């Protein structure tokens, strides 16, 4: 009887220590990955135009810290234009990618869809093909239609890059939807649009929201296509940061990088919250 009681206790103790060790290793790896980001934040408050910690900063002297580089962002017309373009292009491109990607996923979910594999490969190609090849091809193609150095050219290009993520996320949501629910709504007299809005959309809403947010993130962070297609008026935050590092090193880059870190954190928290709310809505309908 003693052996039977001691073995589970020994196994449970070993399992707890293994879980703690695994959590410690995961925490150390996460800290190693996050450390470069955490270094950027205090450097953005450096009162001197340096990309390194000064002696005053290491001594925690209040005079060694300043908001001058954040004020320089507000005083720079180039940075203000880049911020406005990034949000305008990102929102427009994500909306276009969400609509087209959702329609594409719905079409691919049909049982009698012809050339399903070929269409799927074409829709997912922007996620697989190197972005520099896509950018070069778009440049020569858009030049024929005078879409280079235009806002709509950048929007269409970014929507193309974000489309695969919407298709994948919506397709994953459709895999858990019973097609009989949609057919039952049609048999009861509901129109296709009403059945989609009340039956299909609430069930695939988590995938639609996730795809839209990922499409926005892809557009907001993209630089290669912008370097090929954008003109002086279509400068975005990544392009302005690239120009600042290449042409003139300015600590304002640290300030915008800190703001992007905060924005990315809020973006991930919003994604988690919206997905939770979207998953609760179908339960309320049921």
Do 149 and 230 meet the contact criterion of CB atoms below 8 Å apart? yes
Long-range contacts of 74-81 (CB under 8 A, 24+ apart): 76/252, 78/235, 78/240, 79/240, 79/252, 79/256, 81/233, 81/235
The string of pLDDT tens digits covering residues 69-121 is: 888 888 888 899 999 999 999 999 999 999 999 999 988 888 788 888 888 88
Count each helix (H run) and each strand (E run) in the chain, helices first: 13, 0
Gap between the Cα atoms of 139 and 147, Å rounded: 9
Gap between the Cα atoms of 86 and 94, Å rounded: 12
Mean pLDDT of 129-155: 91
Q: Is the pLDDT of residue 278 over 50?
A: yes
- Comparing 66 with 15, the larger pLDDT belongs to 66
Position 9 scores a pLDDT of: 57
pLDDT, the chain, mean: 84
Mean pLDDT of 163-191: 84
- DSSP assignments along 151-216, one per residue: HHHHHHHHHHHHHHHHHHHHHHHHTTS-HHHHHHHHHTT--HHHHIIIIIHHHHHHHHHHHHHHHH
| pTM of the model as a whole | 0.80
Q: Which pLDDT band, with edges at 50, 70 and 90, does 153 fall under?
A: very high
For 46, list phi and psi in degrees, rounded to 5. -70, 130
Long-range contacts of 49-56 (CB under 8 A, 24+ apart): 49/250, 49/251, 50/251, 51/249, 51/251, 51/254
Q: Is the pLDDT of residue 2 over 70?
A: no
Gap between the Cα atoms of 28 and 184, Å rounded: 52
- Give the CATH superfamily of 76-285: MetI-like (1.10.3720.10)
Position 1 scores a pLDDT of: 46
Closest CA to 64 of 50, 84, 48: 48
Gap between the Cα atoms of 205 and 280, Å rounded: 10
Position 11 scores a pLDDT of: 55
For 191, list phi and psi in degrees, rounded to 5. -75, 160
Gap between the Cα atoms of 82 and 223, Å rounded: 12
Provide the 10 A C-beta neighbour count for residue 262. Answer: 10
Position 279 scores a pLDDT of: 57
Mean pLDDT of 18-34: 83
The string of pLDDT tens digits covering residues 201-257 is: 888 888 888 899 889 989 998 999 999 998 888 889 999 888 877 766 778 888 888
Q: Is the pLDDT of residue 283 over 70?
A: no
Gap between the Cα atoms of 285 and 109, Å rounded: 23
3-state secondary structure of 150: coil
Closest CA to 159 of 236, 88, 95, 83: 95
């Amino acid at each position: 009887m003693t052996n039977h009681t001691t073995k589970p206790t020994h196994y449970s103790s070993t399992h707890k220590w293994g879980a703690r060790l695994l959590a410690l290793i995961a925490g150390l790896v996460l800290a190693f990955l996050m450390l470069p980001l955490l270094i950027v934040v205090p450097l953005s408050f450096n009162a001197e135009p340096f990309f390194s910690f000064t002696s005053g900063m290491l001594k925690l002297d209040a005079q060694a810290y300043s908001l001058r580089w954040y004020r320089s962002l507000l005083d720079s017309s180039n940075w203000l234009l880049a911020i406005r373009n990034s949000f305008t292009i990102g929102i427009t491109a994500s909306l276009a990618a969400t609509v087209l990607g959702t329609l594409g996923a719905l079409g691919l979910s049909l049982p009698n869809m012809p050339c399903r594999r070929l269409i799927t490969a074409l829709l997912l190609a922007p996620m697989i093909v190197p972005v520099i090849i896509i950018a070069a091809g778009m440049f020569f193609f858009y030049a024929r239609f005078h879409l280079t150095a235009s806002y709509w050219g950048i929007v269409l290009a970014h929507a193309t890059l974000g489309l695969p993520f919407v298709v994948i996320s919506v397709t994953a949501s459709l895999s858990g939807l019973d097609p009989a629910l949609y057919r039952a709504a049609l048999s009861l007299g509901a129109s296709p649009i009403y059945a989609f809005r009340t039956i299909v959309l609430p069930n695939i809403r988590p995938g639609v929201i996730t795809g839209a947010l990922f499409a926005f993130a892809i557009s907001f962070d993209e630089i290669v296509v912008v370097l090929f297609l954008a003109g002086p008026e279509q400068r975005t935050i990544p392009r302005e940061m690239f120009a600042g590092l290449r042409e003139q090193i300015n600590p304002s880059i640290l300030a915008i990088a800190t703001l992007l870190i905060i924005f990315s954190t809020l973006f991930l928290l919003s994604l988690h919250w919206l997905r939770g709310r979207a998953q609760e809505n179908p339960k309320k309908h049921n």
